Amino acid sequence: MLILAGQGNPGARYAGNRHNIGFMAVDAIARRWGFGPEKSKFQGLIREGDIPTPDGDIRALILKPQTFYNDSGQAVAQAMKFYKLAPKDVVLFYDEIDLAPGRFRMKTGGGAAGNNGVRSVTAHITAEFRRARLGVGHPGHKDRVQGHVLSDFHKVDRDWLAALITAVADAAPLLAAGEDERYQTEVLRLAPAEKSDPKQGGL
């Protein structure tokens, strides 16, 4: 059993924000693999389903916390406790300003790097969860970060965003199998994005 948690803010107002790319990613996984209908639980919206792997299907819970981004750890902790899982069974999908737009990186553990949502999850379940970091670029100055992540993606972003979200979903069997390094490689193969200074893609 895996928990695939996306970070974002609830409601239509925030739906297109860079901060909500985590919601977009887990929604795409649910659609791609035919997960069940969305319902409310664990202070969030959930969908359940199976992701195929060479060793058999892996049960997964899609979780979109509705507590707002900075308190998302509450929902993740509730779900983890309910299913009696460990932090390594949690994959958190979120926007990463220190990666260029369209880049993708997996890691386990580590610090929050100023991300209050990651800090919240860490506070509730420890830091040893898996992180799927979706690059959205940096606005160039720390004073502009909040406005950057809480603004919508632009038309120029649509191609790389669609490619990245589709790749994250299509490659999910590798994630479900615990092959995080191969998952990262496959996502980048399916949705190639140039390595560049994340601040060059900012506004």
Residues of the domain holding 189: 2-201
Q: Smallest Cα–Cα separation from 67: which of 117, 115, 17?
A: 117
- Give the span between the Cα atoms of 181 and 193, in whole angstroms: 17
**Which two tokens mark 163?**
């490619």
The mean-pLDDT minimum among 34-38, 185-189, 190-194 falls in: 190-194
pLDDT category at 195 given cuts 50, 70, 90 is confident
- 3-class DSSP state of 187: helix
C-alpha distances out from residue 117 to 92, 163, 169, Å? 10, 25, 22
Catalytic residue among 19, 124, 138, 148: 19
pLDDT at 99: 95
> Known catalytic residue: 19?
yes
pTM of the entire predicted model: 0.95
For residue 203, is pLDDT > 80? no
The model's pLDDT over 74-107, given as tens digits with 9 standing for 90+, comes to 999 999 999 999 999 999 999 999 999 999 999 9
pLDDT at 199: 75
The model's pLDDT over 105-152, given as tens digits with 9 standing for 90+, comes to 999 999 998 899 999 999 999 999 999 999 999 988 888 889 999 999
Question: How many domains does the structure of the chain reveal?
Answer: 1
The model's pLDDT over 19-75, given as tens digits with 9 standing for 90+, comes to 999 999 999 999 999 999 999 999 999 999 999 999 999 999 999 999 999 999 999
Torsion 40-42-47-48 (CA) sign: negative
- 3-class DSSP state of 25: helix
pLDDT at 125: 98
The CATH number of the domain where 162 resides is what? 3.40.50.1470
